[in-house]
Amino acid sequence: MLDDKVIVLDSEAQNRTEALKLLAKKFVDHKIVQTSFIEAVLKREESFPTGLATEIIGVAIPHTDVQHVIRSQIGVMRLKAPVNFFQMGDGKDVPVKIIFMLALTKPHEQLEMLQKLIGLIQNKKLLIKILNTNSIENVISILETAGIE
Amino acid sequence: MIKSLMVVCGTGIATSTIATGKIKEFLTSEDKVNEVKFLQSKISDEVSAIRNGDYDIVVSTTMVPHEIQDKVINGVALLTGVGTQKVFDQIKAAL
């Protein structure tokens, strides 16, 4: 899920649309998704927001329909300054510091991995490690620690 | 009598998968997982079925239209980890 190392640290994106476009564009560059993924993920985020207020920071897990996806992969973007997302379920503002973008093809086969991602989001210590590291390799090893690989 | 449990999200692929997994874990620990038939879908495909009462239990991780709100258990807590037990209690009560 992390083979392509689509990880961006300290992006200076000014808002969620800019952040999502930047990250989705990288997925396109790596041929993880079709070009149509970019618009689809933006549209999906407006209709069905993916912000989640965890105990310490806001995160978002943007994704979209399988037909835009070529192969499964997770991308990570840490923002220099948080950008506002809407919270899943209730639409409240959530200042998001880390985005985990998901390209998914077969949900049932990926259940375990998705559960681990949520485990990571609920794990304060690991999130703090991601906030504090300066290396992409470290982010990957933190995700691997959480069982995401 | 086996109950149908529909889990919906925006795409029917990511968060509904996670929520389904969490609910399965819980019902397994309660020895009730065989009493439930799990279904998963996207909300846009299910509004009328939910309105018609086609499923015994519905859990959603996304916003649902107001008209069906009282038929749906809000499952976002299964993702944030805050308030998880309340969701499990609601599901258990509906079995």
Q: What is the CATH number of the domain that holds B82?
A: 3.40.50.2300
| One CATH from 3.40.50.720, 3.30.420.40, 3.40.50.261, 3.40.930.10 for A7-105 | 3.40.930.10
Domain spans in chain A, listed from the N-terminal domain onward: 7-105
- Put simply, whether B90 touches A (Cβ < 8 Å) is no
| Whole-angstrom distance, CA of residue A4 vs CA of residue B42 | 29
| pTM assigned to the model | 0.88
Structure-model confidence comparison of residues A54 and A41, the more confident one: A41
- Count CA atoms closer than 13 A to A47's CA, side-chain side: 16
Contacts A1 to B, Cβ<8 Å: none
Q: Quickly list H helices, chain A.
A: 16-29, 36-47, 111-121, 124-132, 136-145
| Whole-angstrom distance, CA of residue B12 vs CA of residue B39 | 10
What pLDDT is attached to residue A107? 67
The torsion defined by the Cα of A142, A41, B68 and B66, in degrees rounded to 10, comes to 110
Domain that includes residue B15, residue range: 3-94
- Put simply, whether B17 touches A (Cβ < 8 Å) is yes
Strand A51-53 and strand A58-60: the pairing is: antiparallel
pLDDT tens by residue, A63-116: 998 999 999 999 999 999 999 999 998 889 999 999 999 998 876 667 777 888
Confidence of residue A44 (pLDDT cuts 50, 70, 90): very high
Question: What is the number of domains present in chain B?
Answer: 1
Check CB contact under 8 Å for A89 and B63. yes
